[in-house]
Structure 1
Amino acid sequence: MSQKDVKDNAFLDLIIDSIQDIKGKSIVQIDLRHIPDAPAKFFVITEGESSTQIKAIAHNVYRRVKSEFEGIEGRSEGQIGAKWVLVDFFDVVVHIFDKATRHYYDLEDLWSDGKFKEYQNI
């Protein structure tokens, strides 16, 4: 495993842990590295049960990444309606949906040629 893979794994593990802290549901990681012109190396997709929980998940992911990975730039979008909040760290994009919006956009199907890893709900 290369040094870059170790960094990717630690970064992704922190994101997953940050989502699980706030009880995000149905977490899926999609590895897009083998797809030409993919918008990121990884997508992490999860859902919350309310706009408050969705915002809390996004805030926790952003806060923990900024505190534990010095120099990482990122941005967040969708906080106002909180049906789909996106936290973009360039190589890793976190999508936090409400259940209906996740079903409607169905990113898992759209990126079905990626490599999937699912996480159990805590």
Structure 2
Amino acid sequence: MEQTLVELAYKAADDKRAEDIVVLDMKGVSLIADYFLICHGNSDKQVQAIARELKDTAEENGHTVRRLEGFDQARWILVDLGDVVAHVFHKDERGYYNLERLWGDASLVEVEQS
């Protein structure tokens, strides 16, 4: 079975030990993307490793990475995969931006892990 883009992104983040991975269903809430994946790492290097894994996994599976922003600063890296936008935070920044609360109208998505 082919994995959906959101499942691929979740697994890529999980493979690099991303913490507190949350997927929000943005359909009907935002025109930006169908899903937001939000997670964090505990160091600059881990945040970059998570973002790099998201990018590489998407490309290896035939998906286009539209944008990658914030990589050098590693505080909040945005990986735009089209239907899925991943937000990879440094743990110190995640609570400050609190995207889960900001997009509180979006429902949480349970992602099956294989």
Alignment pair present for 1:24 and 2:18: yes
Q: Please report the TM-score for the alignment, with normalisation by the length of structure 2.
A: 0.88
Aligned to 1:45: 38
- Matched residue count: 111
Aligned to 2:9: 15
Structure 2 unmatched runs, 5+: none
- Distance in 1 (CA, whole Å) between partners of 2:16 and 2:65 is 22
- Distance in 1 (CA, whole Å) between partners of 2:65 and 2:19 is 26
Aligned to 2:61: 68
Alignment pair present for 1:56 and 2:49: yes
- Secondary structure (helix, strand or coil) at the match of 1:59 reads helix
Identity, % of aligned pairs?
A: 33
- Distance in 2 (CA, whole Å) between partners of 1:118 and 1:104 is 24
The 5-angstrom pairing of residues 93-104 of structure 1 reads 93-104=85-96
For the pair shown, which has the larger CA radius of gyration, 1 or 2? 1
- Distance in 2 (CA, whole Å) between partners of 1:58 and 1:105 is 18
Taking a change above 3 Å as real, the CA distance of residues 22 and 92 of structure 1, as seen in their structure-2 partners, is same
Partner AA of 1:22 in structure 2: K
* CA RMSD, Structure 1 to Structure 2 (Å): 1.9
- Distance in 2 (CA, whole Å) between partners of 1:102 and 1:118 is 20
- Distance in 2 (CA, whole Å) between partners of 1:65 and 1:114 is 24
- Secondary structure (helix, strand or coil) at the match of 2:4 reads helix
Assess if the C-alpha contact under 8 Å between 2:58 and 2:81 holds in 1: no
CA offsets 1:48-94 (integer angstroms, 9 cap, x no match): 01000000000011001101125x24221101110101101122110
